[in-house]
Amino acid sequence: MAEIRARAIIVATVTVAFGLLVAALSAYTVARSSGDDNGRASDGIRASQVPLERRITDFTAGLDPDGGYLEPRRAERRDVADAVGLILDGHPDRAHPLLADVGFRLRTLTDTGTGRRYAELSDRTQDGPDPRGWARVYVDLSAPVRWSVQVPHPVSDADTERLGARVLLDSPGGVLVLAGAHRRAGDGDAADAAHRTDSVFDAVCDELARRGLPGVQLHGFADDSAPGRDVVASTGSGRAGRPDARRLASALTARHFSVCRAWVRSCPLEGRDNVQGRRAATEHVPFLHIEFARSVRESDARIGRAVAAIGTVTGRWARDDAG
């Protein structure tokens, strides 16, 4: 009888140990799947919670007009754009190897303010002595993606990165595409993301336009470039965004901004040569090219009002199942 009890105790002990081992392995597997593209475990949900706006502005604070810029090859641009497409289609596991091949990192972050989860695609070289200055992308994982906000000239168009971050956080279902270098970095206009088709920034925007996602691109101008105007609103070279542009202009006017409407009269800085706008026009996708005066961008209160106005359009896009 004692022998039978001893065997029962041994069997029970082995069973418990085996159960604990399985649980540990399961936890390890989950941690790996939620970690970065090297499979390292993230530090858990608590560690992945970040104030996303501050994370974005901390990144752009390091962009310098004297910084370097390396023009990406076509295959490298395509890999990042394809990875964004895979994330939009719900396949981040398939995006990992594409990004790893071009030196990009994929993280999942939770914004502390909204509670929404975002995928962050970032260039690993940005942390080293020789950053390539390619791009950074944030994809909302909490809702179906319906629209994009694009910031091609962070820091150069001061505080447009802050505007872009707040627009992303204001409405669900967005993608933020952020240039990874100062506009004047590198040689000549190589890093001017709004006027070059050979950048990672442009490749990602092309992918979004190909999918029919409307976009708003944010720029900034010196106050004396358009005296008496706070905002220049345009649809670039296309017409598909006219109804949205009218809606946005009305929302801005209601919030006490003076708006030059490029579809009504000639305005400075209409963005008709903007390459992302041209691609959107080819795809018949709404594209809004919005320039904000420096006096708007240097005021936190006015930024808040501008974001609320843009939200009347992005919020509508977020609710539109047709994208």
Domains and CATH numbers, the chain: 50-319 (3.40.630.100)
C-beta separation of 290 from 217 below 8 A = yes
- Residue 275 clears pLDDT 50, i.e. is over it: yes
Please report which confidence band the pLDDT of residue 20 belongs to, taking 50, 70 and 90 as the band edges: very low
Cα dihedral: 216, 133, 173, 283 (round 10): 50
pLDDT at 48: 87
**Cα atoms in the 13 Å half-sphere on the side-chain side of 37:** 21
C-beta separation of 243 from 289 below 8 A = no
Mean pLDDT of 49-55: 97
- Residue 291 clears pLDDT 90, i.e. is over it: yes
pLDDT at 127: 85
- Residue 241 clears pLDDT 80, i.e. is over it: yes
Neighbours of 43 (CB within 10 A): 10
- Residue 227 clears pLDDT 70, i.e. is over it: yes
pLDDT at 321: 52
Model confidence over 4-14: pLDDT tens digits? 444 544 444 44
pLDDT at 30: 32
**Cα atoms in the 13 Å half-sphere on the side-chain side of 147:** 30
Please report which confidence band the pLDDT of residue 47 belongs to, taking 50, 70 and 90 as the band edges: very low
- Tokens standing for 70? 């390396």
- Cα–Cα distances (Å) from 62 to 39, 67, 82, 190, in that order, read 27, 9, 27, 18
Among the residue ranges 5-9, 180-184, 301-305, the one predicted with the least confidence is 5-9
Output the average pLDDT for the chain: 88
- Residue 28 clears pLDDT 80, i.e. is over it: no
Residues 6 or more apart in contact with residue 137 via CB below 8 angstroms: 80, 84, 119, 120, 121, 175, 176, 177, 178, 204
Model confidence over 144-163: pLDDT tens digits? 999 999 999 999 999 999 99
pLDDT over 70 percentage in the chain: 85
pLDDT at 320: 79
Q: For residue 41, give the DSSP letter.
A: P
User: pTM for the complete prediction?
Assistant: 0.86
pLDDT at 158: 98
Cα dihedral: 253, 54, 37, 181 (round 10): 70
pLDDT at 94: 97
Model confidence over 62-103: pLDDT tens digits? 999 999 999 999 999 999 999 999 999 999 999 999 999 999
- Tokens standing for 231? 């905002």
Residues pairing with 178 in the sheet: 136, 151
Residues 6 or more apart in contact with residue 210 via CB below 8 angstroms: 283
Model confidence over 101-147: pLDDT tens digits? 999 999 999 999 999 999 999 999 998 888 999 999 999 999 999 99
pLDDT over 90 percentage in the chain: 82
pLDDT at 129: 86
Q: For residue 153, give the DSSP letter.
A: S
